[in-house]
Amino acid sequence: MTTHYKEIKQCSVCGAENEYTCIGSTGTFGPQDLDTRPPERKRSTIFAWVQRCPDCGYCAVDVSETCCQESREIVSSREYQERLNDPTYPELANSFLCKAIIDLKSKALAAATLALMRAAWVCDDCHLDLGMSTEN
Ligand SMILES: [Zn+2]
């Protein structure tokens, strides 16, 4: 059984305090997918793998932790805010994509890759075609 709990966290970018759902414990049944996506029940906890500050839009594994010195500048940038509010993608996918923007700018390439892959999983769950088909 997966357990959740609520926690108040202070955003490290804007200082706003908000409540976030965190995962207390979960489990898995079966093997992961070839793209490393975990099996259920852990798979269904993806909504809690990235937190989005509702005040400034900072997206991180833990909004109370600063990823880099430039995080405030990155979050307020036009590129970031457009991605954050892009109606083409599900909100959760945008959160992962915004996290990837921060990770890329802070040279955390492995973290950025993981965030991009997780955004793709969210889009896949929503049956979104991202125009990346290899069939022509
Ligand atoms: Zn914030």
Distance from the alpha carbon of residue 35 to the mean position of ligand 1, in angstroms: 31
Distance from the alpha carbon of residue 117 to the mean position of ligand 1, in angstroms: 24
SS in 3 state form for the chain? CCEEEEEEEECCCCCCEEEEEEEEECCECCCCCCCCCCCCEHHHHHHHCCEECCCCCCEECCCCCCCCCCHHHHHCCHHHHHHHCCCCCCHHHHHHHHHHHHHHHCCCHHHHHHHHHHHHHHHHHCCCCCCCCCCC
Res. 128 pLDDT band, cuts 50 70 90: confident
Q: Between 59 and 26, where is the model more confident?
A: 59
Domain boundary assignment for the chain: 3-125
Question: What is the value of pTM for the model shown?
Answer: 0.90
pLDDT score recorded for residue 136: 43
Distance from the alpha carbon of residue 20 to the mean position of ligand 1, in angstroms: 12
Distance from the alpha carbon of residue 12 to the mean position of ligand 1, in angstroms: 7
